Structure 1
Amino acid sequence: MDYEKRNTRLLSAFLVLVSICILKGGRSAEVIRCKETDRQALLKFKKGLVDEYDVLSSWGSEESKRECCKWRGVGCSNKTGHVISLHLNEEILDRWHALGGNLSDALVDLRHLISLDLSTNDFSDNEIPEFIGSLDKLRYLNLSYCSLKGKVPGQLGNLTNLRALDLGNNYGGLMIQNLDWLSNLSSLFHLDLSSSSFTEGLKTVVFQKILIIKSLKELYLGGCSFPNDTSSVDAYVNSTFASLSVLDLSGLSLTSLAFHWLFNISKSLLSIDLSSNELNGSIPDEFGQKLVSLENLDLSYNEFEGGIPKSFWNLKGLKKLHLSSNNLTGSLPDFVGTMVPLEILDLSDNRITGSVPESFWKASKLEVLYASNNSLEGTISESHLSKLHNLKKLDLNYNSLVFNLTPDWDPPFQLEFLKLASCKMGPRFPIWVRTQSKVSQLDLSSANISDELPEWFWDSLPRLEFLNLSHNQISGRLPDLSSKLSGHPLLDLSFNEFAGLIPSFHPNTTCLYLSNNNFFGSLSFLCKSKYDELGLLDFSNNRLSGQIPNCWENTAVGILDLSNNNFSGEIPDTLGYALLMTLHLFNNSLSGELPSSLKNSGLLEVLDVGSNMLTGNIPAWIGTNLASLVILNIRGNNFFGSIPPELCYLTQIQILDLSRNNLSGRIPLHCFKNFTNFVQKSSTTPYGVLASGYSYPIVYNVVDKVVVQWKGRVFEYSKTLYLLTLIDLSSNRIEGNIPKEIFQMEGLVSLNLSRNHLKGNIDQAIHQMESLECLDVSRNQLSGEIPTGLGTLPFLAFLNLSNNNFSGKIPSGTQLQGFNASLYAGNIGLCGPPLPMCPEDYPDPLSGHNSDENDDDAFMKQSFLKEFYITIVLGFIVGFWGIIGTLLLRKSWRYAYFSFFDRIICT
């Protein structure tokens, strides 16, 4: 369950209990003024805080200098004027992590404090202070999402009036060494220790310590370090969990062995969260047989297989069912659509097939339907959707559904999310979307739409924050969008037919994808506004021109892709002052040197400036300052000079492409052993920026790309890029020997050293390159024999040794004979299949039978000689008599033949 919902629920539950005594500042001030001791305590507490965004500006201001009950987040009693609540969370302050600094013990002077909520701030240098235990009137304490660290103090046991304690989601920073203090909290009904760590000796008795609290109704242990062996709780689940209604055991690595005690915990459970565990097999029928009171069931992110159990029919009160990200198969059961009152259903990321049952569309109370990334099919018409009056979120992305809706259809619902990617919506743009004025997230990508974007679109959806119309054939021009959209927009219009100049965008835009369209002109709009939240900008594969703007210090761009355009001039200096993680400027007309300001880009993982007209030496600071580089591509430029040895510091490098330049000198020695991804076999897990995502307003995957030469051809790698390890130094003027350590790199997939002036030989250590698929050393001056180990490489699929000075016999009995002869051509001394046989392999017709030859060899040679002589004799007979016989038989031929010789003699 996400933070916002959980926090709202928690606040509501507690405020029901204390609402009779907590009043907001304005009302309390009308009855009695705040106490001076409390006001001073609040001011002292504020001094210890870091208030970067000035969210506590009302504290001590002239307008309310003395009336602290009017201060933001402060609540007072209308009878005594004492401060009884202090709520400084995101909901009150309108900003995540608004406050930092220290937690001052001045809070102890707030002796009447009943409710304290400091959640969602950043106190990353703080432990939970022991003085909190002195606030003995506290009933509600929330320190969640505060980045607190250290041990949880036992002094919390002094808070005997506590009803709700939330220390959750400090993400492993809190260590719980002792839980004996919980026995004093006899009134506790809500306990959240999510994402905390228990000491090893405490893990097996966690439940025993918690179950002492008879009043407990809500328990959250999601993400804690927890033992798989849950046998220690068996003796307690029958008696002491009878009152438990909410249980969160998500992210504990539980296996299906946990079910033997789970179904005995409490028959009164209303909500259970088992998401993000290791549960497998079929979903147990016991959920629908023993936990019939369930209102919320979350089994998402597990390994369940099979279908949805029929026993779920018994869950008549079920309101929320989360089954996403499993391996569920089969079709949707008919009863799912008639479960009353079903409000939230999440079936996304499974393998469910077939059409949606008719009864499914009768769930009139359905508010949220997520079924993306399945294999649903069929046609959805207006009649199917006509009864879903309460539908707010609809996500059917990546199915094979067809929407057959009339253009003037008026939906009965007002959606907040609408995601129908890969569903067939076109060819006309769906006009009914115009009625969804509350929608904040809209995804119609790959929807078979080939139409011009309507003029009404941008003004009809004022709350739109996430928009994805990519991979269609939508045309038109974009208006000025600086006042369009809402919040922190993420906009993806890539792979369409939009044209014209690129306009200004909303100043809070976070991600902007406009690649693969027909936009032209410059990017001058970037310098007209401060895009300080712009994290990703992709304008690749358009017709943009002019100079790249020099105002990147106004942005927070981390991923910038301007590749495959017509930009000219130099790379701007201000790019070095952005927060770059990836920089793609491939295939433009950029000139000059790499700006030295890029040495400030310590976060840079991808630097791709290939196929331009850049010049100068390769800067040494690439190796010393850009230690995080995974991809370095400068191919197809005019760089000169030697390869700087400082590149050896790029320990994380995975693709090193310096090809098609004017580099000279030698390959640095004792360097390649530093390249971890080359020396070791690569993992199969995407890394770094290649798998990164932008999380606002939703998770949005960012897959990087790079153009490389592979097996003699040029390819663009993206989704499988993380599997590729490559060194390409081809088409330069590099000389000297190839360092032996290159041939010892077990993790290297592709090595291209062709078209240089390299000498020496291929070292015998090449047999260690077990991951090598592509080797090209053609057009050099390499010599010696081809090592036998080259033929033992299991994945070698492309080899080019042509135009060198190799000699000797190509190792036989290996896969080397399977390559085309042209890949060995130009080596005068090289022989053996697929080239002509070596001289020593030809039979000698004049030699006799050697005494050390075996009988088979002798027999073969004798047979060969016999056939050889017979062929000569037959050839002579056929040739001689073929001519003489013809002259004897045909008079006209004899006459012509002798007349010819007479003419020659006479002349």
Structure 2
Amino acid sequence: MRGPYAALLLLLGLLLLLLCTATSICFGLNFRNSEVRCIEEERQALLKFKRGLQDDDGLLSSWGSHEEDCCNWKGIKCSNRTAHVVKLDLRGDLSFDEVLFHKGLYGEINSSLLGLQHLTYLDLSGNDFNFILPEFIGSLTKLQYLNLSYNSFSGTIPQQLGNLTSLTSLDLSWNSGKIEDHNLDWLFNLSSLRHLDMSYVNLSKVVNWPDKVTMLPSLLDLSLQSCQLSVPIPPVLFNANSSSPLLSLDLSDNHLNSSVFPWLFEYTNSLVFLNLGINNLEGSIPRAFGNMVALVHLDLSFNNLEGSIPRAFGNMVALVHLDLCYNNLEGSIPRAFGNMVALVHLDLFYNNLEGSIPRAFGNMVALVHLGLSYNNLGGMMPRTLENLHNLQVLDLSSNNISGEVLDLSNFSFLRELRLSNNRLNRSLTKSVGELSMLQVLDVSSNSLEGDVTEAHLSNLSSLNQLDLSFNSLSLKFSSNWVPPFHLDIIRLSSCKLGSTFPQWLQTQKNFSELEMSDVGISDTIPNWFWNLSSNINLLNLSHNHIKGTIPLHWFSSSFFDYHITDLSYNHFSGPLPQLNSNWSLLNLSNNKFQGSITSICQTNRSMSDSGYFDLSNNFLSGELPNCWRDMRLLSKFSLANNNFFGRIPDSFGSICDSVGGRSTLETLDLHNNNFIGELPKSLINCSSLELLDLGENRLSERIPTWIGTSLPHLIILRLASNLFVGHIPLQLCHLTSLQILDLSHNDIRGTIPKCLNNFTVMAQTQSSKVSISHDLIIWRDTNGMYMSTYMDNLMVAFKEKYLEYSKTLGLVKLIDLSSNKLKGEIPKEITSLSGLIGLNLSRNLLTGIIPHNIGDMERLESLDLSKNHLSGIIPPSLVDLTFLSDLILSDNNLSGRIPKGTQLQSFSASAYIGNQDLCGLPLLKRCPGDEAAQGPRTSSIDGEGNNQEHANSHEHLWFYTSIVLGFIVGFWGICGSLLLKSSWRHAYFQYLERIGDWLYVTIAIGMAKLLRK
């Protein structure tokens, strides 16, 4: 038995020996690794690479300072076995600010990197290498990972990259759009490539790009965002035999059209992620998307897709993210959406969807984000939405949803509730107070009513945006209430807050926006309000009754560094406060401010965005200061209805100095002051002006010719009630967009230019827009973009009244040249302006006749030619002016009969008086021949009158006889039939009996309901 035991012992001994040997080897290797140092040649290559770079952030501070071993330098990794450098990771900080300002390494990549022939990983992303892509990188043939994204590389992609046959991941994206490629042929050798990101590389010249990028047999992830890709026209037949098993495809922000769909559907069974947002897709959404059952993420947003959403979408049960926003989709939302129970994110906003929200939405219990805003959805919010316990964002704003707000107590994770611009009514549910995680509450622009109390808001400790504006809500909080939240945005416009400032605002120290217009405050601003947040950049307290003065240094203090301030339509008085240098919108109009505006010279403004400056309708006075050179990039400037005097300084036109090649000023209103002298020629810079109102001043000299040549976009030109002399410049006829021309009450002489028919907009009977509005876009540093719209308003003399137009100003087209010393004839060319609603040429020295085709001005509502020396007849075509409601032709030398027509005879005689040779109704003066025509008519009483009376009596007899005969025939035609035909008689009475029964039951049920109530 000793033999077997001996063999066993021998075997165990051999195993022990092998174990010891292996252990010794491992120990030896570990011992060796602990002593390994980088190869000197590679160390020198790295140091040479460093010397060619600028390193302001000290990313390479560890390289060669106190550490000789390059394997321990930051971003370096060496092989444990060979000590060669195998990884170089020098990625910069990819935060938003770093990408914008490119902090990190910058300079040229030195070819010394060729000394690192064992590199498998190279990441230089997020820096500022601003040279062409180096060709020598294609010689680092062992690279498996290459990331050169988020840099400033330029030029063409070197074909040598095709030598990197071991690459599995290549990222050349986000290089400021400076890289391009013309063929992509270098990709064919990269058979191991799995991840390819070439976003923002210009591939517009690549022919048949789909085949080239998808012939890579291992490709799983492809991103070609913003590559200027398009589909050839006619589209080529894409390779349907591609071996690429694509899982993720991002083709967003290109120029692709719907021809790309057949190629995409070749990957129906593999694609998990598909982004086609921001393209030119059009037509209906193919039903074939319903076959892509593996899809988890689908984005078709920002396209031109139309038609209805296919019900086949309900087949994509694995879908987690669906975005169809910013298209032209219509119809109702398919109930099949309820099948997508895995859906977490759904965006359908900015479409034309209608109908109600499907109840089946209640099945999508995984939903976290639901965005349906800016559609035409109606009906009430379905109760099944209460099943969506995981919702964090619910956005149903800008629809036609009615009824009351749902019970919100089940939405314990809700962070954003946006229900603005709907038709919600009744009161705001108190269940909103249970949403402890809520950050945004926006129910503005609805029909909500009732009280909002502390119970609605006391548990909302995370709330930072509150918008209850434009409802009929009353905020009723106790005077000592301390909210649990610290708001950033507060919007309460048109709510009822009471006459005093709300005390609870004193606890909100960090808000950046406060809008409380039209809330009924009639208080003075309390002292504590001056010391609020230094972060305020939007303040709107307009349309209240706030009184008192504003501290002179309020706007200029460190606590009030406003960008947007609207205190208009209040009762503020006293001197104008000293302004700071950062406002972009300042509206102090319609108050009682007094004194000069010299304080604006202390602003030292240097604006970087469009602005709005309105001090109109106050009691400000004095001469304009000479400090306008720093107030540029304004959109509206108004000092109207004040008491300013003196000359308009020459520097005033500096507010129109162009930046980037164009002026931004569109509205300039200085009317109703006491300015004198001529217009400063510096206004020639205001090339974007659409409204120029300088009326009711004492401006003199000639009307400048440059108004017609340098202000080509003028829609309204009003110079009325000044002291202008000379002729009407022919250059004004270049203003083809002009709708209102008012030069009345001046001392203008000469003739009316015949070229007025060049006012092409006045010749159009339809108006392109009802109001004359302007978009105001203001960038507010890191606070984003503020967008608003303001409408021009104008006081117009029309139909012998002064009327103010605002919302309908775009419909007003008129010419007023009255109260001047114009002579000569009315040019017939003016009658081609068929869109005019008002023409006033009164109180001049005009002679000749009224143009015979004046009836062509079919939209004319008011015509005043009085107090001239016009002669001849009143043109018969005036009868055709069916809209004419105000006509004055008095005090001329007109003659002949007033044309007969409903319009002309309806005016009072005062419209025609002062014309000695004019006759006919409504004047008492008869025209020649009227007496002769009247005589025979009166003498016919004895002869023809008797015959006529006899004839009338016969007509009356026949009339009454026909009535009697008709009654007899009708009565016996029905009743006789019922008497003679028994079956008809029975059916008739049964019908009457059923009608009686129905009336009895209806009345009985109605009375019962009334009694129960």
What are the within-5 Å matches in structure 2 for residues 768-807 of structure 1? 768-807=856-895
Which of residues 807, 815, 835 is equivalent to 2:923? Answer: 835
Deviation, 1:496, is 1.1
1:471-518 superposed Cα distances (whole Å, 9 cap, x missing partner): 111123323122345776101111112122222333221111111111
Instruction: Say yes or no: does 1:492 pair with 2:566.
Output: yes
* 1:22 corresponding residue in structure 2: none
The amino acid of 2:876's aligned partner reads T
Distance 2:402 2:348 in 1: 20
8 A Cα contact 2:182 2:205, kept in partner = no
Cα–Cα, structure 1 residues 383 and 858, in superposed 2: closer, same or farther, change >3 Å?
A: farther
* 1:114 corresponding residue in structure 2: 147
Which of residues 429, 432, 436 is equivalent to 1:360? Answer: 432
Instruction: Say yes or no: does 1:541 pair with 2:617.
Output: yes
* 1:53 corresponding residue in structure 2: none
3-state SS in 2 of match to 1:379: strand
* 1:474 corresponding residue in structure 2: 546
* 2:973 corresponding residue in structure 1: none
* 1:411 corresponding residue in structure 2: 483
Instruction: Say yes or no: does 1:597 pair with 2:682.
Output: yes
Instruction: Say yes or no: does 1:270 pair with 2:358.
Output: no
Deviation, 1:810, is 2.6
The amino acid of 1:499's aligned partner reads S
* 2:141 corresponding residue in structure 1: none
3-state SS in 2 of match to 1:727: strand
3-state SS in 1 of match to 2:625: coil
Bigger mean CA offset, 623-632 vs 154-163: 154-163
The amino acid of 1:565's aligned partner reads N
Deviation, 1:409, is 1.3
Cα–Cα, structure 1 residues 209 and 469, in superposed 2: closer, same or farther, change >3 Å?
A: farther
* 1:677 corresponding residue in structure 2: 761
Which of residues 619, 637, 654 is equivalent to 2:704? Answer: 619
Instruction: Specify which structure has the bigger relative contact order, considering alpha-carbon pairs within 8 angstroms and separated by 6 or more residues.
Output: 1
Any unmatched runs of 5+ in structure 2? 1-42, 64-72, 78-86, 103-125, 139-144, 153-173, 297-315, 657-664, 950-1013
* 2:166 corresponding residue in structure 1: none
Bigger mean CA offset, 700-709 vs 659-668: 700-709
* 2:113 corresponding residue in structure 1: none
* 2:854 corresponding residue in structure 1: 766
1:316-361 superposed Cα distances (whole Å, 9 cap, x missing partner): 212111111122222323x245433222111111222221123233
* 2:818 corresponding residue in structure 1: 730
3-state SS in 2 of match to 1:536: strand
Bigger mean CA offset, 357-366 vs 77-86: 77-86
Cα–Cα, structure 1 residues 559 and 848, in superposed 2: closer, same or farther, change >3 Å?
A: closer
Instruction: Say yes or no: does 1:198 pair with 2:270.
Output: no
8 A Cα contact 2:444 2:471, kept in partner = yes
Distance 1:792 1:814 in 2: 10
Which of residues 797, 804, 807 is equivalent to 1:716? Answer: 804
Deviation, 1:38, is 7.2
Deviation, 1:157, is 3.8
* 1:564 corresponding residue in structure 2: 641
Instruction: Say yes or no: does 1:402 pair with 2:474.
Output: yes
Which of residues 226, 241, 246 is equivalent to 2:281? Answer: 226
* 2:907 corresponding residue in structure 1: 819
Identity rate, percent: 37
Bigger mean CA offset, 717-726 vs 442-451: 717-726
The amino acid of 2:91's aligned partner reads I
What are the within-5 Å matches in structure 2 for residues 16-95 of structure 1? 77=75, 79=77, 80-85=87-92, 87=94, 89=96, 92-93=99-100
1:112-170 superposed Cα distances (whole Å, 9 cap, x missing partner): 65373479xxx9996762289789999796968x9x996799499489889684846x9
Report the TM-score when normalising by structure 2. Answer: 0.70
3-state SS in 2 of match to 1:638: coil
8 A Cα contact 2:539 2:562, kept in partner = no
* 1:283 corresponding residue in structure 2: 357
Distance 1:711 1:359 in 2: 56
Instruction: Say yes or no: does 1:510 pair with 2:584.
Output: yes
8 A Cα contact 2:897 2:927, kept in partner = no
8 A Cα contact 2:269 2:293, kept in partner = no
Distance 1:785 1:532 in 2: 62
8 A Cα contact 1:270 1:294, kept in partner = yes
Deviation, 1:245, is 2.3
Deviation, 1:596, is 0.9
Cα–Cα, structure 1 residues 214 and 632, in superposed 2: closer, same or farther, change >3 Å?
A: same
Report the TM-score when normalising by structure 1. Answer: 0.78
Cα–Cα, structure 1 residues 365 and 803, in superposed 2: closer, same or farther, change >3 Å?
A: same
8 A Cα contact 2:771 2:807, kept in partner = no
Cα–Cα, structure 1 residues 142 and 486, in superposed 2: closer, same or farther, change >3 Å?
A: farther
8 A Cα contact 1:618 1:643, kept in partner = yes
* 1:214 corresponding residue in structure 2: 271
Deviation, 1:248, is 2.1
1:84-138 superposed Cα distances (whole Å, 9 cap, x missing partner): 357485575479xxx9x9986337778865373479xxx9996762289789999
Deviation, 1:617, is 1.0
Instruction: Say yes or no: does 1:524 pair with 2:579.
Output: no
Instruction: Say yes or no: does 1:585 pair with 2:673.
Output: no
Which of residues 127, 130, 145 is equivalent to 2:181? Answer: 130
Distance 2:367 2:686 in 1: 52
Which of residues 522, 525, 528 is equivalent to 1:456? Answer: 528
The structure number with the bigger radius of gyration is: 2
* 2:443 corresponding residue in structure 1: 371
1:431-479 superposed Cα distances (whole Å, 9 cap, x missing partner): 2111111211110110000111112213222221111000111123323
8 A Cα contact 2:501 2:523, kept in partner = yes
3-state SS in 2 of match to 1:527: helix
* 1:5 corresponding residue in structure 2: none
Distance 2:852 2:886 in 1: 19
Cα–Cα, structure 1 residues 103 and 276, in superposed 2: closer, same or farther, change >3 Å?
A: farther
Distance 1:682 1:344 in 2: 44
Which of residues 222, 246, 252 is equivalent to 2:321? Answer: 246
The amino acid of 1:116's aligned partner reads S
Deviation, 1:862, is 11
The amino acid of 1:327's aligned partner reads N
Cα–Cα, structure 1 residues 759 and 845, in superposed 2: closer, same or farther, change >3 Å?
A: closer
Cα–Cα, structure 1 residues 840 and 328, in superposed 2: closer, same or farther, change >3 Å?
A: farther
What is the Cα-based RMSD across aligned positions, in Å?
4.2
Any unmatched runs of 5+ in structure 1? 1-31, 44-58, 70-74, 865-907
Deviation, 1:76, is 8.4
3-state SS in 2 of match to 1:498: strand
Distance 2:906 2:747 in 1: 34
Cα–Cα, structure 1 residues 847 and 749, in superposed 2: closer, same or farther, change >3 Å?
A: closer
8 A Cα contact 2:601 2:627, kept in partner = yes
Cα–Cα, structure 1 residues 149 and 501, in superposed 2: closer, same or farther, change >3 Å?
A: farther
3-state SS in 1 of match to 2:731: helix
What are the within-5 Å matches in structure 2 for residues 315-334 of structure 1? 315-333=388-406
1:814-872 superposed Cα distances (whole Å, 9 cap, x missing partner): 2222223222222222333322263347444995589xx9x9998469999xxxxxxxx
Deviation, 1:661, is 0.9
8 A Cα contact 1:114 1:139, kept in partner = no
8 A Cα contact 2:754 2:830, kept in partner = no
Bigger mean CA offset, 816-825 vs 431-440: 816-825
Instruction: State how many pairs are aligned.
Output: 790
The amino acid of 1:106's aligned partner reads L
* 1:896 corresponding residue in structure 2: none
Distance 1:711 1:694 in 2: 39
8 A Cα contact 1:379 1:404, kept in partner = yes
What are the within-5 Å matches in structure 2 for residues 687-706 of structure 1? 689-690=773-774, 692=776, 694=778, 696=780, 697-706=785-794
Instruction: Say yes or no: does 1:745 pair with 2:833.
Output: yes
3-state SS in 2 of match to 1:525: helix
1:400-435 superposed Cα distances (whole Å, 9 cap, x missing partner): 111111222101111111101010112011121111
